[in-house]
Structure 1
Amino acid sequence: MTFQAPLIIDIAGTRLTDADRARLSHPLVGGVILFARNWRDRAQLQRLCRQIKRVRSDLLIAVDHEGGRVQRFRSDGFTHLPPMRAFGRLWREAPETRPGEAALAACNAATAAGYVLGAELRACGVDFSFTPVLDLDHGRSEVIGDRAFDGDARVVTLLAQALMHGLRLAGMAHCGKHFPGHGWAEADSHTELPVDGRPLQTILNEDAAPYGWLSAALTAVMPAHVVYPQVDARPAGFSRRWLHDILRAELGFTGAIISDDLAMAAARVLDGREVSPTEAALAALQAGCDLVLLCNQSTVDDGEPIDDLIEGLSRALFEGRWVPDETAEGRRRALLPQGEALDWDALMADARYQRALELLP
């Protein structure tokens, strides 16, 4: 049986400590997520990624690197990518001499952005980015805002597909987020629990539509820490109804499901009571997540929350309160990059990369 490694954790600094190495070598840990605090320059990031891979070559090195205001690495040559709204505006506002010309130009630019994003990260040793955002811009959510391509699900789908194609050209997988949609709920799930009270059919016809249309192409999906009370009392990331019955069975998604950060306020209360990260992780895994994220905890009490989660999940496994999914590990490993990456100097001289830079809005 292939053992499931569902935990994605963080590290505190710009190089690994002995405590980091011990955590990353644990068989329940499947990946590490990097933040701006883990960045000084490209050479340091490359060394850090090599250190991580020396601990275990199969660890997934991930980052939230979308463009716009969500981009962890911004200096020492990294391209400042535009927010996704820029591609939606190009679709709608670019001049055209023939119908559809602006839409095609926007898709070409989105493919270029995906390639630049993926190729630059891979040149530094990073495997995976949590992008694209598939949320619709309803003009209601500040936490989503210009991270969304557009308010029309069809435009979002085609621009996201183009971005995903660019990532794949760089050998990088992708993660659509935040299923079934965070654009209608106004609250920020980092600090409170958002609620979207619309009926299921409205959500499926609008916000969740890109997940069905892209179900054969998406390699991963991140569910929202949002409650949709007409569907389930639990947030989507802890709901078997959303993850198994709708995302898997109805929409046909077969890739990895990765929880949003379990340290966020919206993930810390379930069924009306406050829960620990271990309880939240178990609820997410039992609902259908393959991987669970716990972020920004390595700097809290010397990483005690991470150690507690590893110990808690180990105990749940030993006591039979959690039964690993034999198929989940294959979905995790499918997120590792494909093919050899160009190093930074080779990338700077690459004709495709240079053309992609020219196409960015």
Structure 2
Amino acid sequence: MAIDPGLRRLALGTLLAAFPGDTAPEWAVTLLADGLAGHTLFGTNVTDPAQVSRLTARLREGRDDALIAIDEEGGDVTRLSHRTGSPYPGNAALGAVDDESLTRAVYAAIGADLVAAGINLDLAPTVDVNTADDNPIIGTRSFGADPRLVARHARAAVEGLQSAGVAACAKHFPGHGATVTDSHLSLPTVDVPLEVLRERDLPPFAEVAASAKAVMSAHIRVPALTGDDPATFSRAALQGLLRDELGFRGAIVTDALEMVGAAATAGGIPQAAVRALTAGADLLCIGAQVDAALVEAVAAEVAAGVPAARLEEAVSRTTELATWTAKHRTLLSYDDDLGLAAARRAVRVEGSLSGFGTPLVVQLVSGYSIAEGRVPWGLSPHLDGIEQVEVVAADASATDLAARAGNRPIVIVGRHTHRKPESRALVEQLASTHAVGVVEMGWPSTWRPSQVRAFVTTHGASLANGRAAAEALGLLHA
């Protein structure tokens, strides 16, 4: 059955699509002319700044006020700099420094980069309070484990982004920081009373409810609030808690509906779209694996399953969001060394850094989350003539590495090194025979190996974090 053209346009006005490649396919532009709210750009869409500017200009030929979104958090989650690593430290580093003016300045710089690229909606900042040390999806994306600290920096980050005219989207409501599973891969459950949620997870969202132009819902289940559903499908969460209790009046954006936490729960992406809109969401991120057929299928399901009045309300909010960005777009200037200066302030050193000038650098291979993607990290870009090897801890021989180092000290670089027994054992074995320094670039832990000479915590693995660590070790000079 053919969709009523008016309903189709309304349905399209609630959707953020995506496409592969560094040029826009014709359907992506045509659907914008038909009323599609916009597109989300991923790392696969980005090669260099000039190319991104051409791409966004081409998209705006479909409709000038289209929303063009991106996950540009700085730190470990970057799309604009996915080939090199971000020039800015992420939230954990900014939280460790705890200078709200610095957080505001870094996010204003990120906003300036996005404006130059033609992007007007940043799916950031992450304002989750990371209370689970082994959280596999948040970690260094969080400002910290203290709700009050996270709230202060959430406000500063939103102010920084929006000072450039880029809409900020605080995520992941009602808080993804206490989870130990990844909502890309399953439906995490946070089984706590609402009182705990209000004290621990909600303060950052309450802090930015009056200022952030958008808030992103999480595909997490909080039984006391959402029952068996993820928050994205919960009217109690989106309307009752976020709008009625916290007073949020901006656009509610969903996390990607292709994620297992949403699509598998609803029985498919089109069905997830209907449930999210019915619950009170306004702008739906379909995901990264999108084509014209999927967009049309989602639009058809939405047009048939969601009342027109609810669609009109959602589209009015997405339109208001786009209008705000057009009015407030500002070309800001900033110091090119801002990111590095911030990363330097986040470095924490325990022990002595003397004598590490010409070490063998051993980088422990680690995985990456779907949110992060495969982005370069470590000290390698900053090492000039210093030998580095990459090893998988489970397969590495401490004896062979010690022999390779000879009389040189060893610097071991890792992310979440404490999480794997084989990584901890390798560090301990090498420290028993050599002067060893450890550089931890993941979420900080209390683990400190015995006998190591120095332990360096960067609070993130961005390009800027790596350079700051290399400088601290005396491997290069600013």
Q: Note the C-alpha offset of 1:6.
A: 0.4
Whether 1:360 and 2:342 are equivalent positions in the alignment is: yes
The 8 Å contact of residues 28 and 59 in structure 2, kept in 1 or not, is answered as no
Q: Note the C-alpha offset of 1:108.
A: 1.3
For 1:25-44, what aligned pairs fall within 5 Å after superposition?
A: 25-27=33-35, 29-44=36-51
For 1:56-75, what aligned pairs fall within 5 Å after superposition?
A: 56-74=63-81
- Any gaps of 5 or more consecutive residues in structure 1? 92-105
Q: What residue is the counterpart of 1:94 in the other structure?
A: none
Q: Note the C-alpha offset of 1:282.
A: 0.5
For 1:177-326, what aligned pairs fall within 5 Å after superposition?
A: 177-231=171-225, 232-270=227-265, 275-298=267-290, 303-316=292-305, 323-326=309-312
Cα 1:257–1:117 change in 2 (3 A) is same
SS of residue in 2 equivalent to 1:178: strand
Cα 1:204–1:359 change in 2 (3 A) is same
Cα 1:194–1:358 change in 2 (3 A) is closer
Residue 339 of structure 1: which of 328, 337, 342 is its match?
Answer: 328
RMSD over aligned Cα atoms: 2.3
SS of residue in 1 equivalent to 2:312: coil
The 8 Å contact of residues 218 and 230 in structure 2, kept in 1 or not, is answered as yes
Q: Note the C-alpha offset of 1:323.
A: 4.1
The 8 Å contact of residues 261 and 294 in structure 1, kept in 2 or not, is answered as yes
The 8 Å contact of residues 112 and 357 in structure 1, kept in 2 or not, is answered as no
- More relative contact order in 1 or in 2 (CA 8 Å, sep 6+)? 1
Cα 1:152–1:340 change in 2 (3 A) is closer
Q: Percent identity?
A: 32
The 8 Å contact of residues 180 and 207 in structure 1, kept in 2 or not, is answered as yes
Q: Note the C-alpha offset of 1:174.
A: 0.5
1:89-117 deviation line (CA, Å, top 9, x unaligned): 112xxxxxxxxxxxxxx111101111110
- Please say which of residues 323-332 and 52-61 is displaced more in the overlay: 323-332
Q: Note the C-alpha offset of 1:25.
A: 2.8
Whether 1:23 and 2:31 are equivalent positions in the alignment is: yes
The total of aligned residue pairs comes to 330
1:60-108 deviation line (CA, Å, top 9, x unaligned): 00000101121001179995221210011112xxxxxxxxxxxxxx111
The 8 Å contact of residues 129 and 177 in structure 2, kept in 1 or not, is answered as yes
1:295-317 deviation line (CA, Å, top 9, x unaligned): 1223xxx5532332123223446
1:108-154 deviation line (CA, Å, top 9, x unaligned): 11011111100011111111111111101111412001000011111
For 1:115-126, what aligned pairs fall within 5 Å after superposition?
A: 115-126=108-119
The 8 Å contact of residues 89 and 339 in structure 2, kept in 1 or not, is answered as no
SS of residue in 1 equivalent to 2:255: strand
For 1:143-162, what aligned pairs fall within 5 Å after superposition?
A: 143-162=137-156
Q: Note the C-alpha offset of 1:3.
A: 4.8
Residue 14 of structure 1 aligns with an amino acid whose one-letter code is D
- Please say which of residues 274-283 and 76-85 is displaced more in the overlay: 76-85
1:278-328 deviation line (CA, Å, top 9, x unaligned): 110010000000111111223xxx5532332123223446xx5x6434333
Q: What residue is the counterpart of 2:159 in the other structure?
A: 165
Q: What residue is the counterpart of 1:11 in the other structure?
A: 19
- Please say which of residues 70-79 and 254-263 is displaced more in the overlay: 70-79
The 8 Å contact of residues 32 and 62 in structure 2, kept in 1 or not, is answered as yes
Cα 1:309–1:331 change in 2 (3 A) is same
Residue 158 of structure 2 aligns with an amino acid whose one-letter code is M
The 8 Å contact of residues 144 and 150 in structure 2, kept in 1 or not, is answered as yes
Q: Note the C-alpha offset of 1:334.
A: 3.4
The 8 Å contact of residues 186 and 194 in structure 1, kept in 2 or not, is answered as yes
Residue 122 of structure 2 aligns with an amino acid whose one-letter code is S
Output the CA distance in 1 between the equivalents of 2:110 and 2:273: 30
Cα 1:9–1:190 change in 2 (3 A) is same
Output the CA distance in 2 between the equivalents of 1:213 and 1:67: 21
SS of residue in 1 equivalent to 2:201: coil
TM-score (structure 2 length as normaliser) = 0.65
SS of residue in 2 equivalent to 1:55: coil
The 8 Å contact of residues 41 and 76 in structure 1, kept in 2 or not, is answered as no
- Please say which of residues 63-72 and 322-331 is displaced more in the overlay: 322-331
Q: Note the C-alpha offset of 1:164.
A: 1.4
The 8 Å contact of residues 42 and 76 in structure 1, kept in 2 or not, is answered as no
Cα 1:76–1:206 change in 2 (3 A) is closer
Output the CA distance in 1 between the equivalents of 2:320 and 2:89: 28
